[in-house]
Amino acid sequence: MTNFTSTEMMTVAAARALKNSDVCFVGIGAPSAACNLARLTHAPDITLIYESGTIGTAPDVLPLSIGDGELCDTAVTTVSVPEMFRYWLQGGRITVGFLGGAQLDKFGNINTTVVGDYDNPKVRLPGGGGAPEIAVSCGEIFITMKQSLRGFVDKLDFITSLGHGTGGTDRADKGVTTKGPSRLITDLAIWEPDPETKEFTVTSLHQGATREQVAETVGWKAKFAAELSETPLPTAEELEVLRDLHARTKAAHSGN
C-alpha cells in the first residue's frame, strides 16, 4: 500500500468533490492544490477562476498569490476585478467556491479578520478579501482546513464570511439564496451539514483517523453520521500527479 500524508489525503478528498462541469472560484493554498489536482485528473474541463480576474486558468505550478503571473499566462482570458465580482461572482455564474480560514465554527462561519477582541486583538489577520462575497454568491462552498482546537472553535471572535449563521434557516432568513457550506474536508474526515440544523456532521473518516481524534480537535461536541463511511484511499495516480505538482511548484519558487 502506498504511503501518504494526512495533507495529501485532505487534498485528494477535496479534489474528488469537484466535477468536470464546475466553475470554481479558487483560493490560494490548499484549495488551489485541490482544484488543480482535479483539473489534472478526473475533471480536465473544470473552469478555474481566481480572484484577480483570471478565467479558465491552467497553471503548471501552484501560484503564490492571486497576483501570480502563472495564472494570467495560462488563463483563457483575464477580466478586471470589478467585472469578476459583479458579473461572474454576483451574477451567479460560479458553481463552487473553495475557502479556508483561521477560525471555523460548527455552522461553517469563517473568521479571517482578528483573533481576540476586535478593537484590541491578540492577532490581526489578513482580512476577508473576496471571501465574504464568495461565501454568499457561489452556488455552494467547500471548506478545507486542518483540524485543531485553535482553528475549530465553538464561537468565532469575528464572522468574516457567512456560513449557515446560527444554523437552521438562518442563512436563508438573511436573504441569502445560495446553498452555503456543503462540505468540510479536513486532514481527518469529511463533514457535511445536517439537513435540518446545518451543523457540520462527520460523514466519512479518513483511514487511520478515529472518532476520538476528531472529537479532540474541535471546540464543539462533534457529531457523527449514523452510517459513517471510510474515505477511499488516494490512488497511485492521484498521489503521483499531486506530488509532481508540488515538486514543480517548489522548483519554480526556489529558482531551480
What is the set of active-site residues?
51
Give phi and psi for 248, each to the nearest 5. -65, -40
CB 108 within 8 A of CB 143: yes
Alpha carbons 94 and 25: distance in angstroms, whole number: 7
Give phi and psi for 194, each to the nearest 5. -60, 135
Alpha carbons 83 and 91: distance in angstroms, whole number: 10
Cell numbers at residue 154, please? 465553538
Cell numbers at residue 92, please? 451567479
CA 82, 88, 91, 95 torsion-angle sign: negative
| Cβ count within 10 A of residue 166 | 13
DSSP at 84: I
Alpha carbons 43 and 251: distance in angstroms, whole number: 25
Alpha carbons 99 and 210: distance in angstroms, whole number: 25
